[in-house]
Structure 1
């Protein structure tokens, strides 16, 4: 992950250098962005197993803004995106009049290389709204948390775990639709917000009631201009 972040920063510096060489001849601008993700996994129908809660993560990447009309532009991005959710799950069984329970509390972190392609419209010179598709490619992930076992004939025990996800159970490709807005409060720096709703099922073998990524993002963007 550290290598990926360093790579994105290096790519951003290269884009800045390229922008300095071409800014007199082209209205295209380049930039870098980073921010906070608040994500969740939702099910198309019914309830996803357990109690799903929002999980914090982060995003960081680069973008290029390409004007196509006076107030309209297209902004492709390449972003490291940390998605997933928190899960609280409880099982209880009875055997020979004895009760046994298992309580799971864990986070699922899913790391994607995302490629949003936003169409932006400038309501004001500093204020824009945007919408467009996002294409994601799964890099890996981890489940981290604990399980607590108890029963009327056994002592309460808590065990922590941290495991990489088995990517064989996940689709490598993820597709979503994003909508958002941003405001450049200086010539170079903008505050941004975006919600991306997942369209595709993240699991290979769950064909009914698809599980989808959803994420709300806030952050800062810096354009080299």
Structure 2
């Protein structure tokens, strides 16, 4: 019984000291989206914004995990064609509420970091008239950034969607899969700020 009490005490001390090293800091993030959709003729990128919140969970000076909740305005700039042969440029909007989590790896424990992680994007609005894009997207995110000692971070990210936004099957007459999926692609550049919590 005495050995059990000693072991339990040592475990409690170890858990408490390891948890004391973990730092949890909430923050805000925002920036510029340059988005497009793949495999669409005559389209170009669209510029818009993203804004949201984060919680940075720092396990040690080399690694942290950052859950994020972000409102992201995406889509592309396409062309609308009319029966008389004329056309006009139009911004197609796909607006998402993004639930993500990125792992951040700090070089040498300093300010520079690599980041990568998944996200689930839930569509909250669009301006498509003749079609109904999917209500969600799954994406992977990768990027690089630098964090100043005061908690201000500058980041550049690439976000690649994995779900065809129109839900097409893309099979030709011979039954072979055609690589024509229409996917979200977003380049993001922005800043974030984490608040110091004592």
CA distance 1:34–1:176, change in 2 (3 Å):
same
Q: Are 1:214 and 2:185 an aligned pair?
A: yes
Residue 160 of structure 2, aligned match among 197, 206, 219: 197
- Structure 2 segments unaligned to the other structure (5+ residues): 1-19, 171-179
Match of 2:28 in 1: 32
Corresponding residue number in structure 1 for 2:195: 224
Aligned residue runs from structure 1 range 143-222, under 5 A: 165=128, 169-204=132-167, 206-208=168-170, 209-222=180-193
Number of the residue aligned with 1:5:
none
Shift of 1:109: 1.0
**Runs of 4+ with deviation above 6 angstroms:** none
- 2:72 corresponding residue in structure 1: 81
TM-score by length of 2: 0.77
Paired positions, count = 167
Q: Deviations over 1:183-225 (max 9, x none)?
A: 1234221111100011111113x22222110000111101001
Q: Could you list the per-position Cα deviations for residues 108-139 of structure 1 after superposition, in whole angstroms to 9, with x for gaps in the alignment?
A: 01110001210110014211110111110000
- The separation in 1 between residues aligned to 2:130 and 2:96, in whole angstroms, is 12
Look up the match of 1:112.
96
What secondary structure is seen at the aligned counterpart in 1 of 2:153?
strand
The DSSP-based 3-state class of the residue aligned with 2:23 is coil
TM-score with structure 1 setting the length: 0.68
Unaligned runs of 5+ in 1: 1-23, 93-99, 143-164
1:55 aligns with 2:26: no
1:65 is displaced (CA, Å) by 1.2
Q: 1:138 aligns with which of 123, 137, 141?
A: 123
Coordinate RMSD, CA, aligned: 2.2
Q: Contact conserved, 2:22 with 2:57, CA < 8 A, in 1?
A: no
Instruction: After TM superposition, give the deviation of residue 76 of structure 1 in Å.
Output: 0.8
Distance 1:127 1:178 in 2: 17
Tell me the alpha carbon deviations over residues 37-96 of structure 1, each in whole angstroms, 9 at most, x when there is no partner.
Answer: 0000002xxxx1x3111100100000111123441111110000000000135578xxxx
Partners in 1 of 2:64 and 2:185 — Cα distance? 25
CA positional deviation for 1:104: 3.1
